[in-house]
Amino acid sequence: MRAPADGQPGRDIGGRLWRLAGLAAVAGLAFAARDVPAQLGGRLTGARAERAARSPQFRDGTFHNQAPIQSMITGEPGRNLLWELAFGKQRRRPSAPVPLLRPAAGADRDLAVVWYGHASALVELEGHRVLIDPVWSDRCSPSASFGPRRLHEPPVRLDEVPPVDAILISHDHYDHLDMATVQELTRRQSAPFLVPLGVGAHLDRWGVPADRIVELDWSERHRVGGLEITATAAQHFSGRGLRRDGTLWSSWVVAGAHRRVFYTGDSGYFDGYAEIGAVHGPFDVTLMQIGAYDRAWAGIHMFPEEAVAAHLDLRGELLLPVHWATFNLALHDWAEPVERLWAEAKARDVRIAVPRPGERVVADDPPAVDGWWQAIA
């Protein structure tokens, strides 16, 4: 019998190690992707699909904005977005921990807002509570292992959120609709979920009872106690996987007998704000998206100056900025949105409140803007 060639045992061991490493990598990827199918949500079928097809916003199998826009990322001559993402000089993270506060107690009849970070907020209006776009997970991603990670913890645990009367979802992107948060709220709260058309398919798949899902088209409304909640137009898009615009996106009007609040959801600036202001305004408070903008997708995310313009179109009184500080979703500096907002608000004589995450803002007595973010920018 011929003796094995020199080095053969080493090559055998090396081969086995590479195979084991490959299996471990595959196992790791499988573990990281274990929740992805469920995270993608549901598809419109049956009565839900038939209702979507009757919507004025639905044609050719998808939902549409009021006017055609470019919702895909567009390139610019001489600009490489991928290079900027990897090597750009922007300061996209805070330099120190974001200061968190626990919401202070207040009078039941106050008009108040607790901002939990990003777009998640609690509106207290005439004795009712409305939770908006709650996201408590560590990442806004279909995987718990990959994707944009929080820059600060939630200021309170989800089980510390008080009982609410309604839960509003603006659209189905991961930074606004979070499966784990929805499932925990389904267990801990009894409030209905008010969502744009089609988004109920995701909630169905995640175990939300059908009698707690209220789907609305633009201009449709639903009463919750003494509140009238109306889905209004936005200029954006939707999708949790490869398919786009299979569900609707919206802004929201929350109206009591005497006070009103508006929330943009995600949106580019458009003529619809003046129409909403004329029909539903004036508003005591507007919650305005100010972050995650770029020239490459200007039609679907407002710049801070546009948020101020939209607030004026809406006939808003106090502007409270949202959709910044919590997730790194664009190429601007971490503090740039709020710096630009503050400058524009002063130039146009607009009242703003810029709370720390967890801070409760009473609309009739908002805290002075103190630039708290500048020390950690």
In angstroms, the CA 252 to CA 266 distance is 11
Matching residue, tokens 């004589």? 349
Q: Is residue 77 part of a domain?
A: no
- Domain range spanning residue 269? 112-368
Q: Is residue 93 part of a domain?
A: no
State residue 80's pLDDT score. Answer: 85
- Beta carbons within 10 angstroms of residue 60's beta carbon: 6
Residues 127 and 34 in one domain: no
Residues 34 and 165 in one domain: no
> Strand, coil or helix: what is 362?
strand
For residue range 40-62, list pLDDT tens digits in order.
Answer: 999 999 999 999 999 999 999 99
The answer to whether residues 323 and 338 touch, using CB atoms and an 8 Å cutoff, is no
Residues 15 and 134 in one domain: no
For residue range 269-327, list pLDDT tens digits in order.
Answer: 999 999 999 999 999 999 999 999 999 999 999 999 999 999 999 999 999 999 999 99
Q: Is residue 6 part of a domain?
A: no
- Diameter of the chain measured on Cα atoms: 97
Tally of domains in the chain:
2
Residue 83, both tokens = 């290079």
Q: Is residue 55 part of a domain?
A: no
Q: Is the pLDDT of residue 11 over 60?
A: no
Q: Please give the average per-residue pLDDT across 121-149, as a whole number.
A: 97
Question: Is the alpha carbon torsion for 242, 244, 248, 253 positive or negative?
Answer: positive
Residues 252 and 354 in one domain: yes
Q: Is residue 83 part of a domain?
A: no
Residues 283 and 150 in one domain: yes
Residues 126 and 241 in one domain: yes
Q: Is residue 97 part of a domain?
A: no
Residues 216 and 309 in one domain: yes
For residue range 222-231, list pLDDT tens digits in order.
Answer: 999 999 999 9
**What is the CATH number for 168?**
3.60.15.10
Q: Is residue 174 part of a domain?
A: yes
pTM of the model: 0.91
φ, ψ at 284 (rounded to 5°)? -70, -35
Q: Which residues of 249-271 are buried (b: 16+ CB within 10 A; e: fewer)?
A: bbbbbbbbeebbbbbbbbbbbbe
Residues 140 and 221 in one domain: yes
